A and B are shown apart, each in its own frame.
Chain A
């Protein structure tokens, strides 16, 4: 197939058309209108960079950035540690391995919205009941404060994604040659030595994939945020994606919201590109 073949163009046309109309055209169209007072239908005045300047003065937006970054850092650490731990556990030779894998992965099949509602019940009623039973005060009144809202989101996210990240670590762990581990065992290496000295370095590429996935998931989180805390109390647990949505569809400041969306894109893309670059470099160094 060459560029002159009509079949080449016919084969790629439907997908390319859809991508252009759904992603690229709206992206450029929206970018253009961030320099105006666009209200979603029409724009009357050209504003230059005014919207972008306003974005960084908007406390609701900068608060959301910090909240999202804090959430992302804590989530990445916990999801990866627990995900790796689960992967190591279910790759031991046990009869119940498959059952465990199925259970740990299960939350990923259910939508974030539904999971968020279920956990709202767990935090508000379940935690409360356990707290009263064991007389633990910190289990009561969850999701009513910024603090518990934050940890609620983290717990939900870890519970959901650890099983997903586990699957990725498993596929790398299983590529570790069995003979290597047996040889080490004969030489007297302990379980921990076999893990830290043999498995861990060989699983290093899995970190690229897993860190990237957890990070971009944390940044784009919306459904769970909406269903669990809905940004409350008083918008203090509003993450970036939700803040943009609110600006657009509750406050109807379309051009302003789109300016935030452009900043959001730059953040997400920069993180993704840096991470892939950094991890590739480190893998080569090793």
Chain B
């Protein structure tokens, strides 16, 4: 029995490792070929490079305007997520504590908005924001609040319900205002769900291509946007394109490496609720 179990486990491990290798193979091909010369890629795609070259990365770094793109991505993502967290948690708190029909109706409106796909509002949205000269970084951040608030409010709403109202009432008797109660007592207790909201929104906003491509001009382009222009320039030159792609992925993989447990938990909590 024991022997049989051990063998079973060994086979499982072998199967697991094989699938993992298949899963990673696209990244392997991307990375090894990013270090090859154009000629070397043409000759052998699968093997390791004959001579490692960093020239591709140097060129890609310059052509991607990488530091600038990274800064733009950081500005957009950090500001959007900050305002999504602040305003969604506040709204969810108020909607959850107010038991009236009107409040329930407003909550339902937020949830229902999740049914509207982006492409269904994209054209008029761009037209309207263009008319008021808001097709820029601040306009984009505001749009992210609009698109991101639904799911975030939904998640926060569930979490606030789990916090007893007696806490609010006790603070109220002590003369605390709603503002103080929320930020001093309630918000700190929402930390786990804030993590989830943050992770889900970071993954979405950091990687978003379509919305920024309609809103931002070249100088303010985020990483995915810049990547698109860059790739268009180098369609037949895989050595440069692959080096650029590798560069673009590095920040994400670094963060994943340090926070993978939180990220996977956040995604699971967000999807299941």
Taking Cβ atoms with an 8 Å cutoff, the residues of A that contact B are 1-3, 5, 7-8, 11-12, 14-16, 18-27, 29-30, 33, 40-41, 86, 89-90, 92-96, 99-114, 117-119, 121-122, 125-126, 128-130, 133, 159, 163-164, 167-168, 170-172, 209, 213, 216, 219-220, 222-223, 226-227, 240-241, 244-245, 248-249, 254, 257-258, 261-262, 264-265, 268-269, 272-273
Q: Name the prevailing secondary structure of the B interface residues.
A: helix
A92's closest neighbor in chain B, by CB? Answer: B12
Bound-complex Cα distance A200 to B95 (A): 37
Closest 4 CB pairs of A and B: A22-B146, A111-B207, A30-B124, A11-B94
Q: B189-232, CB under 8 A of A: which get 1 and which 0? A: 00000000000000100111110001000000000100110010
Q: Are A16 and B26 in contact (CB under 8 A)?
A: no
Task: Show 20 residue pairs from A and B whose CB-CB distance is below 8 angstroms, ordered by the A residue.
Answer: A1-B98, A7-B177, A8-B94, A12-B95, A15-B90, A15-B153, A19-B113, A24-B109, A27-B121, A30-B124, A41-B127, A93-B9, A94-B12, A95-B13, A103-B20, A107-B23, A109-B263, A125-B238, A222-B119, A264-B120
Number of A-B contacts (CB under 8 A): 264
Among the listed A159, A167, A244, which residue makes an inter-chain contact with B267, where contact means beta carbons less than 8 Å apart? Answer: A167
Q: Which chain A residues lie closer than 8 Å to B143 at the CB level?
A: 22
Q: Are A110 and B210 in contact (CB under 8 A)?
A: no
19 other A-B residue contacts (CB within 8 Å) besides A12-B91, A23-B146, A159-B23:
A2-B98, A11-B90, A12-B95, A15-B149, A21-B142, A22-B125, A90-B16, A94-B9, A95-B13, A102-B264, A104-B20, A106-B256, A121-B238, A209-B271, A219-B117, A222-B119, A226-B209, A227-B228, A269-B116
A244's closest neighbor in chain B, by CB? Answer: B119
Nearest Cβ on chain A to B50's Cβ, whole angstroms:
15
Q: Which chain B residues lie closer than 8 Å to A7 at the CB level?
A: 94, 177-179
Q: Are A117 and B227 in contact (CB under 8 A)?
A: yes
Q: B99-118, CB under 8 A of A: which get 1 and which 0? A: 01011001001100101111
Among the listed B87, B94, B121, B252, which residue makes an inter-chain contact with A110, where contact means beta carbons less than 8 Å apart? Answer: B252
Q: Are A114 and B116 in contact (CB under 8 A)?
A: no
Q: Are A26 and B147 in contact (CB under 8 A)?
A: no
Q: Which chain B residues lie closer than 8 Å to A92 at the CB level?
A: 9, 12
Q: Are B13 and A209 in contact (CB under 8 A)?
A: no
Q: Are B124 and A33 in contact (CB under 8 A)?
A: yes
Q: Which chain B residues lie closer than 8 Å to A8 at the CB level?
A: 94, 98, 103
Q: Is B242 an interface residue (CB 8 A)?
A: yes
Nearest Cβ on chain A to B221's Cβ, whole angstroms:
13
Nearest Cβ on chain B to A181's Cβ, whole angstroms:
14
Taking Cβ atoms with an 8 Å cutoff, the residues of B that contact A are 9, 12-13, 15-17, 19-20, 23-27, 29-30, 33, 41, 44-46, 83, 87-88, 90-91, 93-95, 97-98, 100, 102-103, 106, 109-110, 113, 115-125, 127-128, 142-143, 145-147, 149-150, 153, 177-179, 182, 203, 206-210, 214, 224, 227-228, 231, 238, 241-242, 245, 248-249, 252-253, 256, 260, 263-264, 267-268, 271-272
Bound-complex Cα distance A110 to B227 (A): 13
B86's closest neighbor in chain A, by CB? Answer: A14
Given that A22-B142, A22-B146 are known contacts, is A11 also in contact with B123, CB under 8 Å in the complex?
A: no
Q: Are A100 and B16 in contact (CB under 8 A)?
A: yes
**From B9, B123, B147, B214, residue with most partner A Cβ within 10 Å:** B123
Bound-complex Cα distance A110 to B253 (A): 9
Q: Which chain B residues lie closer than 8 Å to A101 at the CB level?
A: 264
A23's closest neighbor in chain B, by CB? Answer: B113
Nearest Cβ on chain B to A100's Cβ, whole angstroms:
5
Bound-complex Cα distance A95 to B228 (A): 40
Q: Which chain A residues lie closer than 8 Å to B17 at the CB level?
A: 96
Bound-complex Cα distance A90 to B57 (A): 36
Q: Are B46 and A126 in contact (CB under 8 A)?
A: yes
Nearest Cβ on chain B to A250's Cβ, whole angstroms:
13
Q: Are B13 and A96 in contact (CB under 8 A)?
A: yes
A128's closest neighbor in chain B, by CB? Answer: B45
Among the listed B91, B103, B125, which residue makes an inter-chain contact with A15, where contact means beta carbons less than 8 Å apart? Answer: B91
Q: Are A11 and B13 in contact (CB under 8 A)?
A: no
Q: Are A108 and B267 in contact (CB under 8 A)?
A: yes
Q: Which chain B residues lie closer than 8 Å to A104 at the CB level?
A: 19-20, 23
Q: Are A114 and B248 in contact (CB under 8 A)?
A: yes
Q: Are A167 and B268 in contact (CB under 8 A)?
A: yes
Q: Are B102 and A18 in contact (CB under 8 A)?
A: no
Bound-complex Cα distance A219 to B117 (A): 9
Nearest Cβ on chain B to A66's Cβ, whole angstroms:
18
Nearest Cβ on chain B to A173's Cβ, whole angstroms:
11
Nearest Cβ on chain A to B81's Cβ, whole angstroms:
14
Nearest Cβ on chain B to A245's Cβ, whole angstroms:
7
Bound-complex Cα distance A274 to B142 (A): 32
